[in-house]
Amino acid sequence: MFHKSKSSDDGGWLSLSDMMTVLMVLFLIISVTIAVTSTTRLAKMRGVLSYVTKQEDILCQKLEDNLRKNFVERDLKIECNPIRIIFTNPNYEFEKNSYELTASFKNALEIFFPIYLQTVDKWELRDLVDEIRIEGHTDSAGGYIYNMALSQNRARNVLNFAIKLPELRESEAYFEWSRSLLTANGLSFSRRLNQSGEIMRFPFKGQENKDRSRRVEVKLRTNTKEVLMALQKRS
């Protein structure tokens, strides 16, 4: 009795349906791997951001504790996220069209900057500090470009006063660190204040408080975005 022999092609090759099944399985494995990797990377970035935000809150509270030993609410306002110091004492305000520091403001700055910088210097994430920005502001009287120069001169005068303080020269390294972070920036009247002391934004509804608008603020910026970008590239 004769049996039909198998073709030489049978057994050596996968059928089309088998090949499609294998490709679908491979595609599924790759998709799951990519999804897991993306989820892990996102979770890691969120974790870093959460940790940095928590540490910034701790720094802000430490600044609050240290500064309140010498300044009352009337003197300055402390905000977090981002960390922002607003000098609110009327005796610290600039005269119209002037960038000269008042005697009261000079006395305040002599106390403020050593406390502020020493607190930041002791912060756990000190190396994440990218800039300590001194921002000058004006009221809306006069042209925008004129006030831009005026606001820059106000910020520059505060910076010049700060870097001459003897407390910043305790060591060459500390002085260089402080000077590398301190910057002076003018914003003209783009961030003028209303009667409640809040920033007026376009379309600038409400009444401007011209006296309080003539001021400087100190803001701390971290390079958290750069850290997250570096982390993303390594992932």
Q: Which domain holds residue 91?
A: 41-234
In this model, does residue 4 exceed pLDDT 60?
Answer: no
Q: Is residue 114 part of a domain?
A: yes
**What digits encode the pLDDT tens for the residues 20-79?**
776 777 777 776 666 555 666 666 667 767 888 888 999 999 999 999 999 988 899 999
In this model, does residue 12 exceed pLDDT 80?
Answer: no
As a whole number of angstroms, the distance between CA 21 and CA 15 comes to: 10
Q: Is residue 28 part of a domain?
A: no
pLDDT score for 61: 95
What is the pLDDT averaged over residues 156-180?
A: 95
pLDDT score for 2: 45
Q: Dig out the tokens for 114 from the structure.
A: 């050593």
pLDDT score for 218: 97
Q: Is residue 45 part of a domain?
A: yes
Q: Does the bond joining 114 to the residue before it have cis omega, within 30 degrees of 0?
A: no
Residue 124 backbone phi and psi in degrees, to 5: -60, -35
Q: Dig out the tokens for 10 from the structure.
A: 């049978």
What is the pLDDT averaged over residues 169-184?
A: 94
- Which residues neighbour 130 within 8 Å (Cβ) at sequence distance 6 or greater? 181, 221, 222, 223, 226
In this model, does residue 3 exceed pLDDT 90?
Answer: no
Q: Is residue 15 part of a domain?
A: no
CATH number of the domain that 70 lies in?
Answer: 3.30.1330.60
Q: Is residue 21 part of a domain?
A: no
pTM for the full model? Answer: 0.77
pLDDT score for 205: 81
Q: How confident is the model at residue 5 (pLDDT cuts 50, 70, 90)?
A: very low
How would you write 8-20 as a 3-class SS string? CCCCCCCCHHHHH
pLDDT score for 8: 45
- Beta strand pairing status for 216-222 and 84-87? antiparallel
- DSSP codes joined into one string, the chain: ---PPPPTTTTTS--HHHHHHHHHHHHHHHHHHHHHHHHHHHHHHHHHHHHHHHHHHHHHHHHHHHHTTT--TTTEEEETTTTEEEE--GGGSPPTT--PPPHHHHHHHHHHHHHHHHHHHTSTTGGGEEEEEEEE---SSS-HHHHHHHHHHHHHHHHHHHHT-GGGGSSHHHHHHHHHHEEEEE-TTTT-BBTTSPBP-TTT-S-B-HHHHS-EEEEEEE-HHHHHHHHHHH-
Q: Is residue 1 part of a domain?
A: no
What is the pLDDT averaged over residues 199-210?
A: 88
pLDDT score for 34: 61
Q: Is residue 12 part of a domain?
A: no
Number of domains composing the chain? 1
Place of tokens 């502001």: 137
Q: Is residue 133 part of a domain?
A: yes
